Amino acid sequence: MKYLLVIVLALVVLWLWRSNRRTGQPDRPAPPAGRTGKPATEVVACAVCAVHLPRSDALPGGKGFYCSDAHRRQAEG
């Protein structure tokens, strides 16, 4: 009789776990869709040291983007 209770409990847990996974699946496609909707995360490379950084953090220059003002001055004089 104890084993029957354990089996029923295991089935209930399994069923709850599966129903949680099903409800979790529709939420999964949402984050990637939000990612593609963000053009602000574009990454550019510094023209001097080639370090990659977000475009919002990069310094634009005549010859491209730079990671710092020192590298912009180094490249463009």
- Residues found near Zn ion in the complex (CB under 5 A): 46, 48-49, 67, 71
**Considering beta carbons, is residue 44 or 67 the nearer one to Zn ion?**
67
* Minimum CB–partner distance for residue 72 and Zn ion (Å): 8
Alpha-carbon span 57 to 27, nearest angstrom: 31
| Alpha carbon distance 69, 77 (integer Å) | 11
Q: Which is nearer to Zn ion, 9 or 60 (CB)?
A: 60
Question: What is the smallest separation between the CB atom of 39 and Zn ion, expressed in angstroms?
Answer: 23
Residue 4 identity (one-letter amino acid): L
* Nearer of residues 8 and 51 to Zn ion, judged by Cβ: 51
Strand ranges, E, within the chain:
43-45, 52-54, 59-61, 64-66
